[in-house]
């Protein structure tokens, strides 16, 4: 009896352990942020890259940068910050895909149409089929509308029309959700997008109806304002997930901002984000979430620029630290500020675990004794061969007696690095090293390196400290001045190179916006 009881206890214990392991595995899978993506593009160029960007975030930086092999295959993974729409960039074009953490996604298409047209299989198929077909119906529906006629309607008729449009499009979303078995989150996202579009329609009416009927004193009634407020009941969810909703809110504040600026920035010394932050302090009824996202948008638009000074960066960070309360928004802003403005003179050199072609370890901290020009590059970047290497050869030949050189490769594999460095940099003096993992490596993150910043350059002084900010233009007069200072050699002027920006990344780091789905006027 004792033996039988003991066996039962042992069996129960084993069963409990197995159940616990299975539960833990399920929990980890269900809570995972990792998205595994692979696919194939026909008629592709192996030099092209695929990037995924979270569309509703503040920091519109690629979550992953994927290369294609000679057959058009690609594969990789990244952490998805949230369930929602993601921007796919490829060959200067953009498309959208709905993703959530824990999914395994397969994408196929033709390079000529990708990423605007492609097929999705795997875990993300149902949600993307739902969104695609809902959008097709909306496009067909919008083509039948005349925005001019709608805006000309009297307010009661216009309000009735707006509600009808909302109801019919919402009904179609429900029908497609059932047909394609879409997740509740995806359905909610699509309905919130529709809500934003209807709000945009109301905003257009308020702005344009008076002009259309030649009555500049026209004001909408309480009925329309009440309907507008019902659409904004889930304001915080809308502002968190839909950049176009943020645009809508900002558009309603344009006139007020201009008046506030004229009254409070009489000396012209305040930046737009400083003025806007002060204006938001007067908005007692506005949620902190809304304030955070709107201010983040203005900061990204007005203050985050390539090669900003330490003084301007300090001012931006002061606003971020004092006014932004949402930690995720604050983190994203700090990240994009670091990436866009780059490393600056006097900054500590980030950790740099690298490897040479022979397999030996290497670190940029080894660069001491002489000033050094460091180049970061990847063979797939078109500028490296067409415009950078000819100028680099001239720079090396002129400064090689006084300056050392290091070339840091960010290709996808060590094998590609070995081929690239021997082919592209043959005969150039200096150290060749590789960041394992390329642009998806910790090294790239520590240095704030993305595709739009390659090739790029840093100058280190004889003590291995950063002697100037990050440059994407080897002919920039400022980098020439720094090289002259550290070497003592006066160089001839070089022709400036225009940096190639990443698809989806504007010069002023404008946040990525999801495509509008507002009904458009007929032609």
Whole-angstrom distance, CA of residue 186 vs CA of residue 85: 9
In angstroms, what is the C-alpha Rg of the chain? 27
CA distance 260 to 283: 13
Q: Which two tokens stand for residue 32?
A: 């995972």
pTM score, two decimals? 0.85
Residue ranges of domains in the chain: 32-123, 133-248, 254-341, 354-487
Residue by residue, pLDDT tens for the chain (523 residues) are 333 343 343 343 443 343 444 333 333 334 578 999 999 999 999 999 999 999 998 878 999 999 999 999 999 999 999 999 999 999 999 999 999 999 999 999 999 999 999 999 999 999 999 999 999 999 999 999 999 999 999 999 999 999 999 999 999 999 999 999 999 999 999 999 999 999 999 999 999 999 999 999 999 999 999 999 999 999 999 999 999 999 999 999 999 999 999 999 999 889 999 999 999 999 999 999 999 999 999 998 888 877 677 788 888 899 999 999 999 999 999 999 889 888 888 887 888 899 999 999 999 988 888 999 999 999 999 888 888 999 999 999 999 999 999 999 999 999 999 999 999 999 999 999 999 999 999 999 999 999 999 999 999 999 999 998 899 989 899 999 999 999 999 876 655 554 444 333 333 333 333 333 333 333 3
The predicted pLDDT at position 302 comes to 85
Contacts of 243 (CB under 8 A, 6+ apart): 55, 56, 297, 511, 512, 513, 514
Give domain 354-487's CATH number out of 3.40.30.10, 3.30.930.10, 3.40.50.300, 3.30.360.10.
3.40.30.10
Residue 475's Cβ-side half-sphere holds a number of Cα atoms within 13 Å equal to 15
At residue 521, the pLDDT reads: 31
Task: Compute the distance between CA of residue 303 and CA of residue 340 in angstroms, rounded to an integer.
Answer: 10
DSSP 471: B
Q: How far apart are CA 440 and CA 448, in angstroms?
A: 11
User: How far is it, in rounded angstroms, from Cα 254 to Cα 131?
Assistant: 32
Closest CA to 185 of 98, 111, 114: 98
Side-chain-facing half-sphere of 423: CA atoms under 13 Å: 11
**32-123: CATH topology:** Immunoglobulin-like (2.60.40)
At 375 the three-state DSSP class reads strand
Residue 457 DSSP SS3 = strand
Q: 363-390 burial by CB neighbour count: b if 16+ within 10 A, else e?
A: ebeebeeebbbbbbbbbbbebbeebbbe
d(CA 167, CA 112): 37
Region for residue 488 given its phi and psi (left: phi exceeds 0; alpha: psi -120 to 50; beta: otherwise): left
53 Cβ contact partners less than 8 Å away, ≥ 6 residues apart: 60, 61, 62, 63, 86, 87, 89, 504, 512
Element (H or E) spanning 441, and its range?
A: none
Half-sphere exposure (Cβ direction) of 178: Cα atoms closer than 13 Å: 5
């Amino acid at each position: 009896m004792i033996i039988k009881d003991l066996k039962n206890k042992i069996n129960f214990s084993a069963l409990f352990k197995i159940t616990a392991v299975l539960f833990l595995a399920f929990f980890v899978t269900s809570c995972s942020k990792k998205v595994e993506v692979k696919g194939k593009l026909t008629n592709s160029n192996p030099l092209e890259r695929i990037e995924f960007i979270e569309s509703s975030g503040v920091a519109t930086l690629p979550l992953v940068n994927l290369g294609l092999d000679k057959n058009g295959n690609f594969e990789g993974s990244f952490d998805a910050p949230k369930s929602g729409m993601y921007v796919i960039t490829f060959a200067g074009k953009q498309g959208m895909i709905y993703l959530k953490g824990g999914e395994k996604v397969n994408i196929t298409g033709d390079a000529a149409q990708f990423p605007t047209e492609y097929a999705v299989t795997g875990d993300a198929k149902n949600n993307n089929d739902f969104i695609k077909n809902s959008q097709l119906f909306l496009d067909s529906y919008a083509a039948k509308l005349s925005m001019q006629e709608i805006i000309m309607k009297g307010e009661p008729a216009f309000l009735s029309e707006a509600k009808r449009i909302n109801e019919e499009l919402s009904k179609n979303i429900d029908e497609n959700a059932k047909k394609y078995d879409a997740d509740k989150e995806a359905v909610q996202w699509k309905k919130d997008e529709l809500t934003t579009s209807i709000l945009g329609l109301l905003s257009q009416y308020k702005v344009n109806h008076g002009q259309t009927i030649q009555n500049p004193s026209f004001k909408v009634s309480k009925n329309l304002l009440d309907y507008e407020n019902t659409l904004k009941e889930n304001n915080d969810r809308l502002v968190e997930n839909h950049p176009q909703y943020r645009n809508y809110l900002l558009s309603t504040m344009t006139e007020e901002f201009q008046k506030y600026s004229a009254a409070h920035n009489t000396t012209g010394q305040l930046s737009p984000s400083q003025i806007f932050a002060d204006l938001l302090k007067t908005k007692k009824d506005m949620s902190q979430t809304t304030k955070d996202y709107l201010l983040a948008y203005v900061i990204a638009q007005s203050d985050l620029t390539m090669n900003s000074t330490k003084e301007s960066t300090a001012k931006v960070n002061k606003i971020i630290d004092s006014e932004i309360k949402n930690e995720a928004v604050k983190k994203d802003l700090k990240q994009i500020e670091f990436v866009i403005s780059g490393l600056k003179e006097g900054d500590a050199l980030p950790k740099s675990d690298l490897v040479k072609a022979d397999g030996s370890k290497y670190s940029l901290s080894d660069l001491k004794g002489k000033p050094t020009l460091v180049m970061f590059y990847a063979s797939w970047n078109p500028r490296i061969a067409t415009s950078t290497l000819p100028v680099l050869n001239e720079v090396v030949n002129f400064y090689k007696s006084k300056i050392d050189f290091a070339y840091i490769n960010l290709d996808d594999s060590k094998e590609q690095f070995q081929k690239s460095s021997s082919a592209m940099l043959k005969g150039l003096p200096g150290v060749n090293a590789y960041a394992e993992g390329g642009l998806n490596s910790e090294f790239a993150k520590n240095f704030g390196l993305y595709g739009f910043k390659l090739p790029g350059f840093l100058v280190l002084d004889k003590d291995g400290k950063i002697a100037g900010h990050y440059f994407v233009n080897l002919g920039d007069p400022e980098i020439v001045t720094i090289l002259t200072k550290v070497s003592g050699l006066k160089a001839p002027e070089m022709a400036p190179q225009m940096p190639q920006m990443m698809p989806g990344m504007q010069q002023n780091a404008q946040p990525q916006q999801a495509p509008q789905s507002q009904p458009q006027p007929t032609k």
